[in-house]
Amino acid sequence: MERAPYFDEVAKGPAHSEAYWLDTADGVRIRACLWPLEDAKGTVFLLPGRTECIEKYANGAKDLAERGYASLAIDWRGQGLADRALKDPQIGHVEDFADYLRDLDAVIGLAKAKAMPEPWFLMGHSMGGCIGLRALAQDHPFNAAGFSGPMWGIGLTGLQKALVRFIAPVIAFFGLSHLRAAGTKRATYMLWHDFEDNLLTSDRQMWDHMRDQVIAHPELGLGGPSTKWVTEALRETEALDTLPSPEIPAICFLGTDEKIVNNDTVRKRMARWPDAELIPVKGGRHETPMETDATRAMFYDRLVALFDAAQG
């Protein structure tokens, strides 16, 4: 098992970390990072959103360690230091959302090989919440799940969704599905937005921290998605909406200033999930784990309380 780079100087996570290269079942090389903890109560799988990397979740790993949990995070295919499928590495791309489950399977294999302490839990943010919900609908090793601004519906109007469905086959016919989606930028979000107009966090310190990571290591950055990614995201979120809720306890955080994912879809899912709770985050934007100190403390306290109660 080959060790992978991990940029500790910008991650600012727990003192002990182990990053590895992993090969998925379909031959894609991804990266994962473990943050082991002696006498841990369990392990939390941190599933990042689109564009994100493992370094961004190192502070969350530190918060979890302080509350008694080991953790791990993943660079999904197409982002972080994982293999990128397109000639232009700044375009976020996937052929099929089911491919992300191959990435998760590889990380579960790593966790087993490294005997990460059980029970295991899941925390999925944004796209990671979409992938996590699909994983929970299948055979999975998790006792409970937490979500932050989960991408259970993408932030498009009905007209925009209809347009995507109409145009996608035409674009595919002409071999243009790998082009960046209209209206998106090639640059990483933090590099073309100012703090004042960003939709991710209301905390200036966290914004600067995230921005500093991609400035120091541009290879971690990612721009807008491909047209194919948008088409597949729409298809997957609509398919997820038809599934019954998983039979495990869950908690979901949704900022009152959330403007990236479809809020109504999140609320409807949580309303029909019997053993689950939706927590509105007052003044929170898209990234609750990257919010103010007080919000982050609340987030990890509530998350760990759920995990403590679901020890099995």
Span 114-125, mean pLDDT?
98
212 SS3 class: helix
Please state, in angstroms and as integers, the Cα–Cα distance from residue 22 to each residue in 1, 54, 113, 131, 191, following that order: 8, 14, 12, 18, 29
In 180-250, where does DSSP find H-type helix?
189-192, 204-216, 227-240
pLDDT value at 42 more than 80: yes
**Least confident window among 171-185, 208-222, 266-280, 290-304:** 171-185
Give pLDDT, residue 173.
58
Cβ distance 173 to 166 under 8 Å?
A: no
Q: What is the dihedral of CA 15, 115, 251, 55, to 10 degrees?
A: 30
Burial class (CB in 10 A: 0-12, 13-18, 19+), 139: exposed
pLDDT (tens digit, 9 = 90+) per residue, 223-245?
999 999 999 999 999 999 999 99
- Give the confidence band of 168 by pLDDT, cuts at 50, 70, 90: low
Got the DSSP string for 46-74? Answer: EE--TT--GGGGHHHHHHHHHTT-EEEEE
Give pLDDT, residue 159.
55
pLDDT value at 161 more than 90: no
Counted residue by residue, the chain has a size of 312
Superfamily for domain range 8-309: Alpha/Beta hydrolase fold, catalytic domain (3.40.50.1820)
Give pLDDT, residue 269.
98
Burial class (CB in 10 A: 0-12, 13-18, 19+), 155: middle
Q: Which residue has the higher pLDDT, 302 or 227?
A: 302
Please state the pTM of the whole predicted model.
0.95
Domain limits, the chain: 8-309
**Residue (of 182, 183, 185, 179) closest to 224 by Cα position:** 185
The chain-wide mean pLDDT, for the chain, equals: 94
DSSP state of 219: G
pLDDT (tens digit, 9 = 90+) per residue, 65-99?
999 999 999 999 999 999 999 999 999 999 999 99
- Give the confidence band of 3 by pLDDT, cuts at 50, 70, 90: very high
- Give the confidence band of 156 by pLDDT, cuts at 50, 70, 90: low
Give pLDDT, residue 178.
82
